[in-house]
């Protein structure tokens, strides 16, 4: 037990409770497809059969209403727990599954909305109950059902299903597998998005592990870009570049400003204009305290947030930034060990 935990018993208790919860909880595996017909159901059912051959207790809790002959040939090899009929729709029989309590339940089709009167409004909530009961689940979903990505997917496919699954649910998985197949030209972007979602899910799990084990490192599979701004910096080109790079890698854009005292009305107006640009580009904005050492404040925030790249302007020698010792850019780069720093020429000084 490390010294920091011994000094903080509440934190130790939280860690113990979290570890106990994880031990009791079932494991979730999701087979993610970028479009219908890539074979995710076949692959999931085949894995379930392999697990059965190894001695695991695997049952089916739900199948798709329309299936292929190949899927039908796999399903007949399983024990199938019949679904309930509520308002002429199939709903997972949670009570029966809890009584049967297999090691693993296969649920083909994650994105379902249940009819009124069901135990849970959404199928992903049914799966959550099974996991909390210690039953592992394998399930499948296509990209166009992920709630936060529907606008982008609809722009590519022209289709927008009513049923959705929140991205945060996917981030709680223990294992995610992208079912890959050669993509048609118009679907190559969806394939890329599926791979990026998988990377984001893996990173979320990794960061949770690092936090739980108090490992302070920068581990990133997606980009987190931080733009440092000052009142008079020419922020738009830096912010727009940050947004383009973040979007390219399905990443996040952060903007940080180190709070300054006694700003003139002109500087206040200029700062607000830069922050307005950041809001326009949907950046996460953070105002930092650290007037004595703004570079160190910026780097501390970057490390806490898992930033992978920092974008700054190069003309920061006057006014506020002259408080940095030596060359401000070189000092920032020295402190940013392990984080890439990209320097942009600036027409103005701050």
Integer CA distances (angstroms), 173 to 22, 29, 117, 127, 194, in order: 12, 6, 28, 11, 15
What pLDDT, on the 0 to 100 scale, is given for residue 233?
81
Q: Which residue has the tokens 């979290």?
A: 18
Higher pLDDT, 110 or 188: 110
Q: Is the Cα dihedral 127, 128, 131, 136 positive or negative?
A: positive
**Mean of pLDDT values over 302-321:** 74
Confidence band (pLDDT; 50, 70, 90) for 183? low
What pLDDT, on the 0 to 100 scale, is given for residue 107?
96
Query: In angstroms, rounded to a whole number, what is the distance separating the alpha carbons of residues 77 and 197?
Result: 32
Top-confidence range, 42-46, 185-189, 304-308: 42-46
What is the enclosing helix (H) or strand (E) of 200?
helix 188-212
pLDDT in tens, 2-40: 444 444 566 566 666 666 666 789 999 999 988 777 889
Confidence band (pLDDT; 50, 70, 90) for 206? low
Asked if residue 274 has pLDDT above 50, the reply is yes
What pLDDT, on the 0 to 100 scale, is given for residue 348?
47
Asked if residue 204 has pLDDT above 60, the reply is yes
Q: State percent of the chain over pLDDT 90.
A: 41
- Collapse the DSSP code of 335 into the 3-class scheme (helix H, G, I; strand E, B; otherwise coil) and give the result: helix
Confidence band (pLDDT; 50, 70, 90) for 102? very high
**Mean of pLDDT values over 161-181:** 87
Higher pLDDT, 96 or 234: 96
Q: Which pTM does this prediction carry?
A: 0.57
Rg (C-alpha) for the chain, rounded Å, is 25
What pLDDT, on the 0 to 100 scale, is given for residue 8?
56
Query: In angstroms, rounded to a whole number, what is the distance separating the alpha carbons of residues 154 and 290?
Result: 44
Check residue 4 and give left, alpha or beta (phi > 0: left; psi -120 to 50: alpha). Answer: alpha
What is the enclosing helix (H) or strand (E) of 224?
strand 224-228
Identify the structural domains of the chain with CATH numbers, from first to last. 24-212 (3.40.50.300), 224-344 (3.40.50.620)
Mean pLDDT, all residues of the chain: 82
Q: Which residue has the tokens 């699954």?
A: 165
């Amino acid at each position: 037990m490390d010294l920091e935990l011994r000094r903080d018993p509440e934190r130790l208790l939280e860690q113990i409770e979290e570890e106990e919860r994880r031990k009791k909880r079932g494991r979730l595996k999701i087979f993610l497809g970028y479009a219908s017909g890539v074979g995710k159901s076949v692959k999931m059912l085949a894995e379930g059969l392999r697990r059965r051959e190894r001695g695991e207790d695997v049952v089916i809790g739900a199948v798709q209403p329309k299936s292929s002959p190949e899927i039908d040939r796999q399903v007949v090899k399983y024990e199938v727990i019949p679904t309930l009929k509520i308002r002429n729709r199939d709903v997972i029989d949670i009570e029966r599954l809890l009584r049967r309590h297999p090691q693993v339940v296969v649920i083909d089709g994650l994105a379902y909305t249940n009819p009124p009167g069901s135990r849970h409004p959404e199928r992903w909530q049914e799966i959550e109950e099974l996991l909390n009961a210690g039953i592992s689940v394998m399930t499948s979903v296509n990209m166009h059902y992920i709630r936060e990505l529907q606008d982008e997917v609809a722009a590519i496919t022209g289709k927008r299903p009513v049923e959705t699954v929140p991205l945060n649910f996917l981030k709680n998985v223990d294992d995610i597998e992208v079912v890959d197949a050669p993509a048609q030209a118009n679907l190559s972007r969806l394939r890329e998005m599926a791979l990026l979602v998988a990377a984001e899910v893996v990173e979320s799990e990794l960061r949770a592990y690092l936090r739980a084990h108090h490992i302070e490192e920068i581990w990133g599979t997606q980009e987190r870009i931080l733009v440092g701004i000052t009142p008079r910096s020419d922020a738009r080109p830096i912010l727009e570049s940050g947004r383009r790079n973040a979007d390219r890698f399905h990443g996040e854009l952060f903007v940080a400003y180190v709070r300054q005292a006694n700003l003139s009305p002109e500087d206040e107006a200029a700062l607000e204009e830069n922050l307005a640009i950041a809001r326009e580009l949907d950046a996460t904005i953070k105002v930092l305290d650290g007037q004595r050492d703004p570079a160190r404040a910026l780097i501390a925030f970057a490390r806490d947030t898992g930033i992978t790249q920092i974008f700054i302007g190069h003309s920061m020698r006057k006014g506020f930034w002259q408080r940095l010792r030596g060359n401000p850019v070189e000092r920032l780069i020295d402190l940013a060990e392990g984080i890439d720093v990209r320097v942009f020429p600036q027409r103005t000084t701050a």
